[in-house]
Amino acid sequence: MEWLRLTVLPALPAPFLLPLLGAIIGGEETILIISMLSAEHVIGFKTVLFFSFLGTLISDTLWFYAGDLVVKLERWRIFSKKFEEVAEIIRKISGKSHFRALMMTKFFYGTRILTLFHVRRDGMPVWEFIPTNAVVVAIWTAAIVVFGWLAGKGVVSLGILENIEGLIGTVLLVIIAFHFLRKWLNKRLLAWQRQPR
């Protein structure tokens, strides 16, 4: 693991930029990878947790505001059917609770940005969105970072990260497993949602 500490940290002008930019640009898969690095102290756990939270909050707020612009674009028509399907599911699950809508869809693959568009179109004011989303992002980020940290600890204890091939293979395996877990949860939610009441 020493090779990782010697190659990653010197390449970063400020270690906090890795989780901050990773959360803004990359999303949960990037946060998972960075969290795995924190398990071996390549970057501090608290640094990953805080700056992943901050980056996700910034990203969500930008998408919240972008929702107004996106629906005005010509290409929006291509996505509007999927958006309406997702919006209907969000309405059924959450009722009128924006908190519940934001919380539940954070964990379902492919619904995060559409949910941000939905709550914006549903009339949620920004003064309500930011604190509500901050609570949701805090819970979500903590879950993702802890999951990644535990995966990293497990990988380190197995000695897999002694070389670059082990690191790449492990990261890919964790991302694939996380992806399929979220897809499975999505299918379960949709099946539950389609059941007659």
The number of folded domains in the chain is: 1
Confidence at residue 147, expressed as pLDDT on a 0 to 100 scale: 86
In angstroms, what CA-CA distances link 90 with 14, 20, 39, 83, 172? 39, 28, 35, 10, 31
Number of C-beta neighbours around residue 26 at 10 A: 16
SS3 for the chain is CHHHHHHHHHHCCCCCHHHHHHHHHHCHHHHHHHHHHHCCCCCCHHHHHHHHHHHHHHHHHHHHHHHHHHCCCCCHHHHHHHHHHHHHHHHHHHCCCHHHHHHHHHCCCCCHHHHHHHHHHCCCCHHHHHHHHHHHHHHHHHHHHHHHHHHHHHHHHHCHHHCHHHHHHHHHHHHHHHHHHHHHHHHHHHHHHHCCC
- Residue 2 pLDDT > 60, yes or no? no
Contact between 33 and 171 under an 8 Å Cβ cutoff? The reply is: yes
Full-prediction pTM beyond 0.85?
no
Confidence at residue 195, expressed as pLDDT on a 0 to 100 scale: 60
Q: Of 158 and 130, which is predicted with more confidence?
A: 130
Number of C-beta neighbours around residue 182 at 10 A: 16
Confidence at residue 167, expressed as pLDDT on a 0 to 100 scale: 64
- Torsion region of 124: left, alpha or beta (phi above 0 gives left; psi -120 to 50 gives alpha): beta
Confidence at residue 162, expressed as pLDDT on a 0 to 100 scale: 60
Q: What is the pLDDT of residues 159-171, one digit of tens each?
A: 655 666 666 677 7
- Residue 44 pLDDT > 70, yes or no? yes
Q: Domain of 183?
A: 2-194
Residue 150 pLDDT class (50, 70, 90 cuts): confident
Question: Quick one: average pLDDT of 27-55?
Answer: 87
How much of the chain exceeds pLDDT 70, in percent?
71
Q: What is the pLDDT of residues 99-131, one digit of tens each?
A: 888 887 787 766 788 788 878 878 888 999 999
- Residue 15 pLDDT > 80, yes or no? no
Residue 64 pLDDT class (50, 70, 90 cuts): very high
